[in-house]
Amino acid sequence: MDFTHDDILLPLAITVIIDDKVKSPEMQSLITQAKGLFDLFELEQMDEAAIRAWFKSHSKELETKLHSARRNTLVLRALSRFQVNRDVEAIYDAMVSISVSDNEFVVSESELIKSAGAIWGFPRPPIKVDR
């Protein structure tokens, strides 16, 4: 299956935006993860400025949808695009990396990661995060 830059960036952006705080470590992680995923999915590379521009141009719409009744539809659409184990694992790992990059536990991010795991059939990891 061929993926687009939007397919890759959407779940990553949702992971950054869902906690209502866009922090520098999360943005830097999004950029790093996106570049790695572009290579994996054999997409033309985007530089940091282009990734930041994509995020800026989509963030308001994503914020609005994440605070509406369309939240679950948005998340499901972003995640269900990926079906093959290699693809799922790569996107999931990227989302987890972004989620933990700011060293904060946020319920909405945790719920997103749990939802992604459930959608993709991952068992709950045997770890407990202490706050």
Residues 59 and 22 sit within 8 Å (Cβ to Cβ): yes
pTM: 0.87
Residue 96 belongs to some domain of the structure? yes
DSSP string, 94-120: HHHHHHHTT----HHHHHHHHHHHHHH
Q: Which domain holds residue 64?
A: 5-120
Q: pLDDT value at position 68?
A: 93
Mean pLDDT in consecutive groups of 10 residues from the start of the chain, 131 residues: 94 91 88 97 97 97 93 93 94 92 77 88 60 45
Q: pLDDT value at position 125?
A: 55
Q: pLDDT value at position 53?
A: 98
Residue 43 belongs to some domain of the structure? yes
Residue 130 belongs to some domain of the structure? no
User: How many domains are there within the chain?
Assistant: 1
Residue 128 belongs to some domain of the structure? no
How much of the chain is in helix, strand and coil states, percent to nearest 5? 70, 0, 30
Q: pLDDT value at position 131?
A: 45
Residue 70 belongs to some domain of the structure? yes
